[in-house]
């Protein structure tokens, strides 16, 4: 590690000064974030900069790095600055039209894979955003085909690009629409990370989320449950008998969302926790012989 004694214009000097600025702005992992941005500016993997404190930073890279640092100090998410984010085993393009994929959401993929690994099947992702959930499941189920739906046409275009980026374009389709209103099909698995933040709580979110991610993907109504009410009503129509749905939850929402699903005849099969121990992924099933279910 550099003590800021490296010569001006070198990797070590840039990382040290940037780390100090990021630390002063209360940004976690300041040295790592500085290295990620400098690596991107120099067109190198961040690991390539380790042990190279005295490597000169080209002027154009220095200019690009300074611009990135200003954006991060303004609390723009690092993923948006870099233009991509890792999720599951995938690398995904990101933009301000969707939420940035988070490691917490990988709990939904784990929950889906714990159910079964069919040779084939149809998967639906409602509110697909970057396509991260659908594409992660398709990467593990090589015989499956998936449909992702998002209210935003820009998000649907982004998800299509991510499918191509990860070689999954032939097994996926992405549409713009209001939830599943335009769909007349049934699926083996339905995934969704709906908006679930209470309207009144949005102003108190960290600035990276509050100021840079789309409000429509955050705002779940006065109690945070508006989207779940709609999903609970349409899932019986969308799921095949014996099919499963996995819904992302906010903190403390498991009981309320379970009750909404149960009221529509769906069987709650449990929750999968994220790495922080939060009940994050609710797993529900449409029972066999459930033709009388609503929808």
Q: Which residues are annotated as a binding site for S-adenosyl-L-methionine?
A: 127-131, 150, 179, 193
Structure tokens at 91: 């690398």
Q: Are 162 and 93 in contact (CB under 8 A)?
A: yes
Cα angle 80, 32, 166; round to 5:
45
What's the number of CA atoms in the CB half-sphere (13 Å) around residue 209? Answer: 14
Three-state secondary structure call for residue 51: coil
Q: Which two tokens stand for residue 235?
A: 């899932």
Backbone φ and ψ for 175, nearest 5 degrees, come out as -125, 155
* Whole-angstrom distance, CA of residue 232 vs CA of residue 226: 10
Q: Are strands 239-248 and 187-192 parallel, antiparallel or unpaired?
A: parallel
Q: Is residue 148 helix, strand or coil?
A: strand
What is the C-alpha separation between 290 and 279, in angstroms, rounded?
27
Q: Report CA 137 to chain centroid distance, whole Å.
A: 13
Binding residues for substrate, as ranges, are 193-196
Name residue, tokens 């976690």. Answer: 28
Q: Binding site: what residues are annotated?
A: 127-131, 150, 179, 193-196
Picking from 221, 190, 204, the residue whose alpha carbon sits closest to that of residue 286 is 190
């Amino acid at each position: 590690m550099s003590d800021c004694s490296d010569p001006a214009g070198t990797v070590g000097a840039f990382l040290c000064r940037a780390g100090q600025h990021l630390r002063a702005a209360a940004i976690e992992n300041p040295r790592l974030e500085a290295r990620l941005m400098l690596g991107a500016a120099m067109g190198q993997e961040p690991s390539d900069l380790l042990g190279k404190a005295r490597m000169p930073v080209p002027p154009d890279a220095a200019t690009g790095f300074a611009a990135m640092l200003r954006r991060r100090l303004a609390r723009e998410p690092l993923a948006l600055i870099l233009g991509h984010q890792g999720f599951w085993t995938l690398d995904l393009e990101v933009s301000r039209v969707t939420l940035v994929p988070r490691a917490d959401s990988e709990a939904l993929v784990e929950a889906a894979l714990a159910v079964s690994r069919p040779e084939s099947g149809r998967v639906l992702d409602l509110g697909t955003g970057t396509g991260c959930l659908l594409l992660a499941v398709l990467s593990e189920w090589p015989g499956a085909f998936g449909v992702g739906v998002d209210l935003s046409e820009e998000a649907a275009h982004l998800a299509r690009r991510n499918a191509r980026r990860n070689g999954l374009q032939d097994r996926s389709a992405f549409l713009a629409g209001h939830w599943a209103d335009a769909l007349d099909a049934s699926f083996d698995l339905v995934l969704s990370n709906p908006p679930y933040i209470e309207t009144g709580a949005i102003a108190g979110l960290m600035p990276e989320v509050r100021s840079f991610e789309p409000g429509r993907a955050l705002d779940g109504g006065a109690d945070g449950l508006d989207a779940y009410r709609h999903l609970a009503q349409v899932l019986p129509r969308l799921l095949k008998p014996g099919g499963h749905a996995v819904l992302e939850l906010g903190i403390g929402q498991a009981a309320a969302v379970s009750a909404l699903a149960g009221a529509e005849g769906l069987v709650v099969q449990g929750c999968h926790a994220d790495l922080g121990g939060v009940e994050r992924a609710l797993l529900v099933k449409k029972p066999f012989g459930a033709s009388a279910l609503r929808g």
